[in-house]
Chain A
């Protein structure tokens, strides 16, 4: 009984950690530019695919990982520069279509650069399961949860203790005021895309040994990251982390105790239910309109 519960909890925490990273990616870009980046899932895919194909080609893992992270960040920066920046003052719908267009483009490119097959990575530290009170925990799950935790602490430090991080935070509160006190707002926008792409890539790399990856792997991960971000309240970092964990754990419990067929629907059922009663998510600020 308890062992099964623990088992579901482990798997929920693992996927929840990935959703949290994706959700944070949404939140960072949303804060800097009020753009919802529907290509967030593609950063996850690029991180996983780039690492997996490089390792398969003989590049050592410790070299492939940073290279894949850089590749993903470059794609993020290019996307901001060429697709998002030129449409700065466009409608919400217009920007949504631009980022969806970018995601379709990236999937198309991935299909050509790599292929349509599934790719995997060897687990970072072996495949010997660890027994915990009757449940088993794969070492790679620990990697996923651990890396996510380190990234979250790193982000906290970046946004609260470094000048550039504070400048980014300032821009998210009030763009004009930030510009007036000398923040290079354009750099902040570029940095937000680079940082989100990096988060995505990290998530994609650590999870690939467990879930495998292919050119379409980013779609569902991205949408669930979006649900995590909305669930916590758009633009709220802590909210995105909590949202990601809730989605991940609820999904694992539902597929364990109810039906695995509806696993992918759980995130969206939760989000609808929450939005019906809390239109700004769990921790979101209530919006007011200036008329």
Chain B
């Protein structure tokens, strides 16, 4: 087993970080932030497959996240469906919806694709806000703990460990996908879509597949987020939610699974750190977004890796 490969070495490192981080957690607030960082990380690992590997942008993934959350909320609270069934059903519905829109949408390129995904996200957000009879409208809705097989996940600490295991599983899943023929096909699509088609890659099927996978990731995390938080509002599906996810992926590093994780963690921690200068939070966030993209267009992790490698080579 080679510890330097992304699959074994990276996964081990991630597991160690997840396991050791709580040493520095002095109260449940740290666990809470940690859980949210990992929730975002899971969404970003999925979204990175689409943006980083297949080279397709989506400005609407917060919509899928919100659908997962509301699916779970509505099914468990109004119809008494068990949480795990609600999560699975919501993910299935989101997957089918993503599949239905994927083919026409992924034919679009660049800014047209950005517009279409943005539109889907905004429509979902408005529906959740307007259909108050089902969703509770802008006031939001509350829901109970996540119960499964007589076992209840509650408290920030327990959620931390559950989410940690899920994050490692998600990273493992996406590393496997990338190293499979699907991953190679996706990279070919990113390199040159026409070129890939010419050599016989069914590009649109692969794009659809990865769009559906990333939407399902977002939906599952949305369901978990809803139970963990106990309260959701339509704003979790807003345009800025989607922008937030995309920024995490690009900031951490496109086409780098761990980069997506790093980006998610940094952007989740940032508002906590900036809380001190609350008034200037938006301006600082804007500067960070612009600055990273200007000076490190490949994202944090890949840029650091290149630096490290060139230093090693120089020795």
Binding site for B on A (CB under 8 A): 30, 36, 83, 86-87, 90-98, 100-109, 111-112, 219, 223, 226-227, 230, 234, 259, 261-262, 264-265, 268-269, 271-272, 275-276, 279-281, 287, 289, 291
Candidates A90, A103, A107, A230; contact of B112 at CB < 8 Å:
A230
Complex alpha-carbon distance, A265 and B129, angstroms? 11
B289 touches A97 (CB 8 A): yes
Query: In B169-194, which residues have CB < 8 Å from any A CB?
Result: 192-194
B289 touches A101 (CB 8 A): yes
Residues of A within 8 A of B59 (CB): 96
Q: Please name the residue on chain A nearest to B281 by beta carbon.
A: A108
Candidates B108, B193, B286; contact of A101 at CB < 8 Å:
B286
Complex alpha-carbon distance, A226 and B297, angstroms? 24
Kindly specify which of B66-74, B87-95, B120-128, B304-312 makes contact with the partner chain. Answer: B120-128
Residues of B within 8 A of A259 (CB): 130
Complex alpha-carbon distance, A102 and B288, angstroms? 10
B147 interface contact, C-beta 8 A? no
B280 touches A108 (CB 8 A): yes
Q: Please name the residue on chain A nearest to B52 by beta carbon.
A: A93
Q: Please name the residue on chain B nearest to A291 by beta carbon.
A: B194
Contact with A along B272-315 (1 / 0, CB 8 A): 00000001111111111110011001000000000000000000
Candidates B109, B110, B193, B290; contact of A102 at CB < 8 Å:
B290
Candidates A105, A268, A287; contact of B286 at CB < 8 Å:
A105
The smallest beta-carbon distance between A246 and chain B, in angstroms, is 15
B126 touches A234 (CB 8 A): no
Residues of B within 8 A of A227 (CB): 115, 119
B112 touches A112 (CB 8 A): no
**A-B contacts, 22 listed (Cβ < 8 Å):** A83-B290, A83-B294, A87-B297, A91-B254, A92-B110, A97-B247, A103-B286, A108-B280, A108-B282, A108-B285, A111-B279, A111-B282, A223-B122, A223-B239, A262-B126, A265-B127, A268-B119, A268-B120, A272-B120, A275-B105, A287-B109, A289-B194
Candidates B115, B130, B285; contact of A104 at CB < 8 Å:
B285
- Which 10 A/B pairs are nearest by Cβ-Cβ distance? A105-B286, A108-B282, A101-B289, A268-B119, A108-B283, A104-B286, A101-B290, A261-B130, A276-B104, A265-B126
Q: Apart from A103-B286, A234-B112, what 18 extra A-B contacts exist at CB < 8 Å?
A: A87-B294, A90-B293, A93-B51, A93-B246, A93-B250, A94-B297, A96-B57, A97-B246, A98-B290, A102-B290, A104-B283, A107-B282, A108-B283, A109-B283, A268-B119, A271-B119, A275-B116, A280-B112
The smallest beta-carbon distance between A53 and chain B, in angstroms, is 18
Complex alpha-carbon distance, A280 and B112, angstroms? 7
B195 interface contact, C-beta 8 A? yes
Residues of A within 8 A of B154 (CB): none
Complex alpha-carbon distance, A269 and B120, angstroms? 8
A279 touches B107 (CB 8 A): yes
Complex alpha-carbon distance, A276 and B122, angstroms? 17
Binding site for A on B (CB under 8 A): 51, 57, 59, 104-105, 107-112, 114-116, 118-120, 122-123, 126-127, 130, 192-195, 198, 239, 243, 246-247, 250-251, 254, 279-290, 293-294, 297
Complex alpha-carbon distance, A83 and B107, angstroms? 30
Residues of B within 8 A of A264 (CB): 122, 126
A223 touches B279 (CB 8 A): no
Residues of A within 8 A of B192 (CB): 291
Q: Which of B118, B127, B198, B251 has the most CB atoms of chain A within a 10 A radius of its CB? A: B118
Complex alpha-carbon distance, A30 and B247, angstroms? 22
Complex alpha-carbon distance, A100 and B250, angstroms? 13
Residues of B within 8 A of A97 (CB): 243, 246-247, 250-251, 289, 293
Complex alpha-carbon distance, A98 and B251, angstroms? 11
Q: Please name the residue on chain A nearest to B130 by beta carbon.
A: A261
A94 touches B119 (CB 8 A): no
Residues of A within 8 A of B104 (CB): 275-276
Complex alpha-carbon distance, A92 and B246, angstroms? 12
B293 touches A101 (CB 8 A): yes
A272 touches B119 (CB 8 A): yes
Residues of A within 8 A of B286 (CB): 101-106, 108
Residues of B within 8 A of A223 (CB): 118, 122, 239
Complex alpha-carbon distance, A262 and B131, angstroms? 10
The smallest beta-carbon distance between A116 and chain B, in angstroms, is 11
Residues of B within 8 A of A262 (CB): 126, 130
Q: Please name the residue on chain B nearest to A92 by beta carbon.
A: B110
Complex alpha-carbon distance, A32 and B108, angstroms? 22
A230 touches B293 (CB 8 A): no
B112 touches A104 (CB 8 A): no
Q: Please name the residue on chain B nearest to A79 by beta carbon.
A: B290
The smallest beta-carbon distance between A85 and chain B, in angstroms, is 9
A93 touches B290 (CB 8 A): no
Complex alpha-carbon distance, A227 and B111, angstroms? 11
Complex alpha-carbon distance, A219 and B235, angstroms? 15
The smallest beta-carbon distance between B242 and chain A, in angstroms, is 10
Decide yes or no: A105 and B297 within 8 Å by CB, A93-B250, A100-B243 being known contacts.
no
Residues of B within 8 A of A100 (CB): 243, 247, 289
The smallest beta-carbon distance between B28 and chain A, in angstroms, is 30
